[in-house]
Amino acid sequence: MTDQQFAMLAALISCTFGTGSREKRFVRDMASQSKEYELTARQDWYLRRIYYRYRVQLGQPDMAKPADFHEPPLPVSGAELARREAKGQILVCRAPVSADRQRAADLERLQAWNEGKAR
């Protein structure tokens, strides 16, 4: 995390967020990370977006809007995500089990249960 990102998080901690807002959760989660944590491009973009949104509470009402305020960065490729996951930098959520595979697993479990019953 850069010094600027760390300072932004430190300032945002004192802001009043809406109850259960995603901004509050994001700021708290990022503030709990160590300074060595590396933010992704999208996390950096979101941090700057939140910082601009709460600029009045931060005492900077005349702050200029970031140029990429409405345009998040492009998604990261699958190979890059796999590399980061292998290094332990991020947690990648896997796609849910397809309905067909789930049905097949349920059928196998039912058949195994039925075989164990006396007829």
**What is the SS3 string spanning the chain?**
CCHHHHHHHHHHCCCCCCCCCHHHHHHHHHHCCCCCCCCCHHHHHHHHHHHHHCCCCCCCCCCCCCCCCCCCCCCCCHHHHHHHHHCCCCCCCCCCCCHHHHHHHHHHHHHHHHHCCCC
82 versus 4: which is more confidently predicted?
A: 4
Specify the pLDDT at position 45.
Answer: 92
Tokens of residue 95, six digits: 């796609």
Task: Report pTM.
Answer: 0.62
On the question of pLDDT at 60 being above 80, the answer is yes
On the question of pLDDT at 112 being above 60, the answer is yes
Single out the residue of 8, 4, 3 nearest to residue 23, CA to CA: 8
On the question of pLDDT at 99 being above 80, the answer is no
Task: Tell me the mean pLDDT in the region 25-29.
Answer: 94
pLDDT band for position 118 (cuts 50, 70, 90): low
pLDDT tens track for 30-40? 999 988 888 88
Amino acid at 110: L
